[in-house]
Structure 1
Amino acid sequence: MEVDLQLCRFHGPEILELRIPDIIRRHGGPISLTQILAGISDAPSPDITCLERIMRVLVRKKIFSAQEASNSGDTLYGLTHSSRWLLTESGSEPSLAPLVVMENHPVRMAPWHYLSQCVREGGSAFVKAHGQDVWEFGLENPEFNKRFNEGMACTAKTVMSGVISGYKDGFDNIGSVVDVGGGTGQTISEIVKSYPHIKGINFDLPHVVAAAPKYEGVTNIGGDMFQEIPQADAVLMKWVLHDWSDEDCIKILNKCKKAIPEGRGKVIIVEIVLKPEGQGIFDYTGLVVDLNMLATCNGGRERTEPEWKKLLQEAGFPRYNIITVNALPSVIEAYPI
């Protein structure tokens, strides 16, 4: 999942609104600016110079490739590993296009303009921008809620592919898993698909699970994780705890402890483990995502291993393992004994 998230934030809308990756793919190979413009629907007065300047930056960042045609001298633009993640047409899975659309939604962009105000006086950038937190906003705005859920769901396949392949034995002796904050159920469905013996429970706010499709082996339950979590052999949380402050995370983890069997249950946390000085493929991206949490969630943050250790110990999970997988987040196994 090696896509420049900063670039997608600044250039994602035009890439996807114009469907440039899909246009190139349809042609079956690199094409000229003129051919790209011909493939753009609803373009009454196309500006080739404008397109050329956009593509120049995207080529520099390796979102597209560029080569000179031998016969005409025109520059031909092709897909790269990164732009293939932005395909949207049928048969183009997996795709991160819904995530890019969600991250560039005006609702998500507005809080970034309040970060300097947060430095001066504290508080939540999202609340300053919209007058309520992201969860309250999603409840009252179905269109944004739909975009948010689609963005989260599209990451499930790519992330869970890395998790399932790198955490093979972790699901072997588990009869049931409750995915807390599981959205529309894509994550738990990927687990059940790979481990059919597992009874999957997708648990999220009622208005979220109301939009969840039916997956074989998965039961949808609506509720509030701060009140009670359904019983299961293991609790899974993917990109949930990074939304909350340490104080709120401890409350959530305490509810997790009550949901699993005493003495043999575990909590499986799929989250970024920050390495601020790391040189790994995902380490810089983790820092960018941390800023995203700063802009979006009140108290949310990515955490380093020492910060995870402190949080888990304070929540009553003295023992943990970190398993690195081929994905942006890692798997953190947490045990209450």
Structure 2
Amino acid sequence: MGPKEAEAELQAQADIWKYMLSYVDSMAVKCAVELRIADTINMHGCPITLSQIVADIPDALSPNVSYLKRIMRLLVRRKIFTEHHPLEGGDTKYGITHLSRWLLQDSQMSLAPMLLMETHPRLMTPWHIISHCIKDGGICFEKINGRAIWDFASENPEFNKLFNDAMACTARIVMNTILSEYKHGFDSVGSLVDVGGGIGSGLAEIVKSYPHIKGINFDLPHVAATAPIYDGITHVGGDMFHSIPNADAIFMKWILHDWSDENCVRILKNCRKAIPKETGKVIIVGVVLQPDGDGLFDDTGFVFDLLMLAHTSGGRERTELEWKKVLKEAGFPHYNLIKIPALPSIIEAYPK
């Protein structure tokens, strides 16, 4: 074995170790979020010591500072926190970074609720049986939890809140980008249905920016029942597989990736019935996979595809050609793909 081959072999071993244990990163970040470490440091307005962090941990009966130090050591290495060593001795202080700002639970622009949902035991256990589902068939989440994720949420209020909070936080982040990048996309829309709009936070941002729009937030009854009141928005409970309220346009953010191609066609056909044939449009916000892409979010798109495999009943992320096929089968022969600086893209679909 030559020097280059030996180096490649060693690198391969190091990579396998990294992939094998990458869950440790997720669990360490989850620990930091549950202890509100980023919020505590941010509240102080400057780097603080471990003892200061521990003092602000709620309900800490007998805190183990040595454990926390080891967690922080890894998170500093991952650039989630900074480490400051005083020149004249004293305790090490920890500060926040651009990464940890996305973990602030007191911030409107936070991924903390999404992280807490994705690392919840109910969503982690399906990953352990993917190989069994490949061999024997079946839906991962349903095999572990006994029912589809939507039914499980409807029967478990605590999980339902966790799920809704996660969807709301991603809605705020994505909507912030859409409203700044999707120029004039809502100008001619008088009424807009947000299909699968959760508790309505995403639609609320649209109506706030376009107050002429009559907003209809449409989701399953148990979701719509928990939605807060927003100006200009009506909450409607129902089933998108049966019918969708009529409007000038329909908005769907991260909905179709939850479903198989066959179910997507069913949903889109109902969308087609709900909008004017001549002027209506469906605005889809979803991942468009780039098989050879090296963009900022391209790799995450493929990770999301496996999230759909683990957590949904046939859901998947799609390439542009796969999107085109689904849209055409549903009666949308024309579409416009708009890339934005975010994980998903925007697809405008037209029935004519």
Q: Deviations over 1:76-112 (max 9, x none)?
A: 21101111111123xx322222212221222111211
Match of 1:257 in 2: 272
- Which of the numbers 266, 290, 299 marks the counterpart of 1:275? 290
Residue in 1 that maps onto 2:18: none
Q: 1:58 aligns with which of 71, 75, 86?
A: 75
Q: 1:42 is matched with which residue: 45, 56, 59?
A: 59
Quote the Cα distance in structure 1 between the aligned partners of 2:58 and 2:88: 27
Q: Residue 276 of structure 1 contacts residue 284 of structure 1 at CA under 8 Å; is this kept in 2?
A: no
Describe the SS at the equivalent of 2:79: coil
Bigger mean CA offset, 315-324 vs 250-259: 315-324
Match of 2:331 among 303, 309, 316: 316
- 1:298 match: 313
TM-score by length of 2: 0.90
Separation (CA, whole Å) in 2 of partners of 1:6 and 1:170:
40
- Could you tell me which amino acid in structure 2 is paired with residue 246 of structure 1? D
Cα shift readout 1:44-92 (whole Å, capped 9, x = no counterpart) = 3332321122112211221112232223254321101111111123xx3
1:236-272 CA-partner distances (Å, limit 9, x unpaired): 1001000000000000000000000011101000001
Q: Is the 8 A contact 2:268 2:330 kept in 1?
A: yes
Whole-angstrom distance in 2 between the partners of 1:245 and 1:118: 16
| Matched letter for residue 184 of structure 1 | I
Contact 1:156 1:186 in 2 (8 A): yes
Q: Tell me the SS of whatever aligns to 1:132.
A: coil
| Equivalent in the alignment of 2:140 | 125
SS of residue matched to 2:48: coil
Counterpart secondary structure, 1:235: strand
Q: What is the CA-CA distance between 1:6 and the residue it aligns to? A: 6.7
Corresponding position: 1:23 with 2:37: no
- C-alpha deviation, 1:7, in angstroms: 7.1
Give structure 2 stretches of 5+ with no counterpart: 1-21
SS at the partner of 2:335? strand
CA offsets 1:134-158 (integer angstroms, 9 cap, x no match): 1111111111111111110111111
Q: 1:11 to 1:277 in 2, by over 3 A?
A: farther
AA aligned to 1:265 is G
* Structure possessing the higher relative contact order (Cα contacts under 8 Å, 6 or more residues apart): 1
Q: Percent identity?
A: 60
Tell me the C-alpha RMSD between the 2 structures.
Answer: 1.6
Code of the residue aligned with 2:35 in structure 1: it is: L
Checking the alignment, whether the CA contact within 8 Å between 2:29 and 2:75 is kept in structure 1 is no
Matches within 5 A, 1:188-203: 188-203=203-218
1:114 maps to which of 126, 129, 136:
129
Unpaired segments ≥5 residues, structure 1: none
Q: Look up the SS of the partner of 1:170 in the other structure.
A: coil
Residue of structure 1 in register with 2:263 after alignment: 248
**Post-superposition CA distance 1:220-239 (Å, at most 9, x none):** 11111000100000011001
User: CA 1:274/1:7 → structure 2, altered by over 3 Å: closer, same or farther?
Assistant: farther
Aligned partner of 2:164 among 137, 149, 155: 149
- Which of 327, 331, 334 matches 2:346? 331
